[in-house]
């Protein structure tokens, strides 16, 4: 099993991304992934009360991932990718051309990751979000044709001048984030890889098998798999819990969870909703969020899929994913949730230890 590092944005300054590159190289990860958000996880009205606010001026200060990849790609030989771009607001021809530009210009190449998107990246900015999976399907049909044949599908006749691959790196792969039945069918039909997030090992295995079945029906090889998890590293799980208790606003990461998870812990989710895809946290009263944050138990944070503790404790919890055949774990190092940028730097060795414990390193990784 390989490991990818999803950078813990939002970061306002290049030096913060360079810190994570340093961590990635020390841990000998296999890939680096960049988020593509217009809004973030936290309410801007609460941002200045969080230590993580030293990352940037706003919880929404996400750099454009393709521009950022072009910059960081000159500082590393690791492949970079998006995790993930909303297919609802970036059409395939422009997105494929931009991604291929990075793929050709950066030593490690590019990994194009897309999904059906989230309301927060679309609705407030005027992008249509009424049929997200249909728009994802249109994107994938066009992207697959452009990458495989260099042209748009008929009856359109637009062509793509940039080739889909290059010597030493190969063809740029198309990765798709999906969990619903229709979206998983699209992964099997069009994608080279499947990205999952906030998912337990048994569900991962079942959905991976479903994706593979769809791929077989389409006459394509089974997509590679990447499972995405969030990490908050510390000296121990107990020590991380103490930090969350001292900074309860960080527990509002659970706003990305469905209302049913809140109900399971005896709480009512502000605004309700199905979870990450329909969250519009900016539209909620910030003081209502501040009031409920201390009531959120740490077990609910963990149930969402946030792994907390030291390297050994987290490695034990990640081991079942390897047992069910995950090709790569993509870990988002959000240790700064409780402690800010300094905490990310302090936990560098813990992250390195984690990769060693899971034996995720392979000979020949770039540094």
Q: What is the pLDDT of residues 122-134, one digit of tens each?
A: 999 999 999 999 9
Q: pLDDT digit string (tens) for 56-94?
A: 999 999 999 999 999 999 999 999 999 999 999 999 999
Q: DSSP assignment, residue 90?
A: S
Q: Coil, strand, or helix at residue 174?
A: strand
Which whole number is the average pLDDT over 246-271? 96
| 138 vs 116: CA distance, rounded Å | 11
Q: Structure pTM?
A: 0.94
> Bigger pLDDT: 239 or 10?
239
The per-residue pLDDT for 361 is: 42
The per-residue pLDDT for 8 is: 81
β-pairing, 85-86 vs 110-115, is parallel
pLDDT surpassing 90 at residue 297: yes
Location of structure tokens 């469905």:
258
CB 130 within 8 A of CB 119: no
Residues 6+ apart with CB under 8 A from 363: none
Location of structure tokens 């399971």:
264
The correct answer on CATH 1.10.3720.10 for the domain covering 2-231+308-357 is no
| Reported confidence tier of residue 365, pLDDT bands at 50, 70, 90 | very low
The angle at the Cα of 265, spanning 253 to 184, to the nearest 5 degrees, equals 60
Residue 34 backbone phi and psi in degrees, to 5: -115, 135
The per-residue pLDDT for 274 is: 82
The per-residue pLDDT for 366 is: 44
How many alpha carbons lie under 13 Å from residue 145 in its C-beta half-sphere?
A: 17
Which whole number is the average pLDDT over 317-327? 91
| 187 vs 202: CA distance, rounded Å | 19
**DSSP letter for each residue of 108-129:** T-EEEEEES--GGGTGGGT---
Q: DSSP assignment, residue 153?
A: P
CB 353 within 8 A of CB 27: no
β-pairing, 328-333 vs 2-6, is parallel
pLDDT surpassing 90 at residue 207: yes
| Reported confidence tier of residue 9, pLDDT bands at 50, 70, 90 | confident
Which whole number is the average pLDDT over 252-264? 95
| 25 vs 136: CA distance, rounded Å | 33
Total number of residues shown for the chain: 367
Location of structure tokens 């991604």:
99
In what helix (H) or strand (E) does residue 9 lie, and over which residues does it extend?
Answer: none
- Out of 18-22, 46-50, 101-105, 274-278, which region has the weakest mean confidence (pLDDT)? 274-278
The per-residue pLDDT for 133 is: 97
Distances (CA, A) of 193 to 9, 28, 320, 326: 23, 21, 20, 12
| 344 vs 55: CA distance, rounded Å | 10
The per-residue pLDDT for 198 is: 86
Which whole number is the average pLDDT over 11-17? 94
Bond prior to 84 in cis (omega within 30° of 0):
yes
Alpha helical stretches, state H, the chain:
14-27, 65-72, 92-105, 132-149, 181-190, 201-217, 237-246, 259-264, 286-292, 298-304, 311-323, 341-346, 348-357
What average pLDDT does the chain have? 94
The per-residue pLDDT for 210 is: 97
pLDDT surpassing 90 at residue 247: yes
pLDDT surpassing 70 at residue 367: no
| 309 vs 162: CA distance, rounded Å | 45
pLDDT surpassing 80 at residue 52: yes
Nearest alpha-carbon partner for 260 in 271, 272, 270:
272
DSSP bridge pairs for 194: 176, 225
Share of the chain above pLDDT 90, in %: 91
Which whole number is the average pLDDT over 289-305? 97
The per-residue pLDDT for 74 is: 97
CB 33 within 8 A of CB 80: yes
């Amino acid at each position: 099993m390989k490991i990818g590092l999803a950078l813990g944005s939002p970061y306002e300054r290049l030096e913060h991304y360079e810190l994570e590159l340093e961590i990635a190289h020390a841990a000998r990860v296999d890939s680096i992934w960049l988020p593509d958000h217009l809004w973030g996880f936290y309410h801007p009205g609460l941002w200045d009360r969080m230590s993580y606010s030293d990352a940037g001026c706003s919880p929404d200060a996400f750099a454009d991932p393709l521009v950022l990849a072009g910059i960081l790609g000159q500082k590393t030989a690791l492949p970079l990718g998006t995790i993930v771009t909303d297919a609802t607001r970036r059409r395939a021809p422009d997105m494929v051309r931009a991604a291929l530009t990075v793929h050709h210009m950066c030593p490690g190449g590019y990994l194009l990751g897309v999904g059906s998107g989230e309301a927060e990246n679309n609705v407030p900015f005027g992008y249509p979000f009424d049929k997200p999976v249909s728009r994802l399907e249109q994107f994938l049909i066009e992207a697959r044709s452009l990458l495989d044949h260099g042209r748009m599908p008929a009856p359109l006749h637009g062509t793509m001048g940039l080739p889909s691959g290059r010597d030493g790196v190969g063809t740029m792969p198309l990765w798709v984030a999906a969990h619903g039945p229709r979206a998983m069918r699209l992964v099997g039909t069009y994608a080279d890889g499947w990205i999952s997030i906030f998912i337990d090992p048994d569900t991962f295995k079942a959905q991976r098998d479903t994706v593979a079945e769809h791929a077989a029906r389409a006459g394509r090889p089974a997509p590679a798999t990447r499972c995405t998890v969030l990490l908050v590293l510390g000296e121990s799980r107990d020590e991380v819990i103490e930090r969350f208790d001292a900074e309860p606003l960080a527990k509002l990461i659970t706003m990305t969870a469905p209302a049913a998870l809140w109900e399971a812990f005896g709480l009512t989710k502000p605004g309700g909703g199905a979870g990450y895809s329909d969250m519009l946290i900016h539209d909620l009263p910030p003081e209502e969020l501040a009031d409920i944050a201390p009531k959120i138990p740490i077990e609910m944070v963990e149930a969402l899929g946030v792994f907390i503790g030291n390297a050994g404790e987290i490695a034990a919890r990640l081991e079942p994913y390897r047992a069910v055949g995950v090709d790569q774990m993509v870990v988002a190092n959000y240790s700064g949730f409780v402690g800010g940028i300094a905490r990310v730097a302090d936990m560098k060795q813990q992250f390195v230890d984690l990769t060693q414990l899971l034996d995720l390193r392979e000979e020949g990784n770039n540094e």
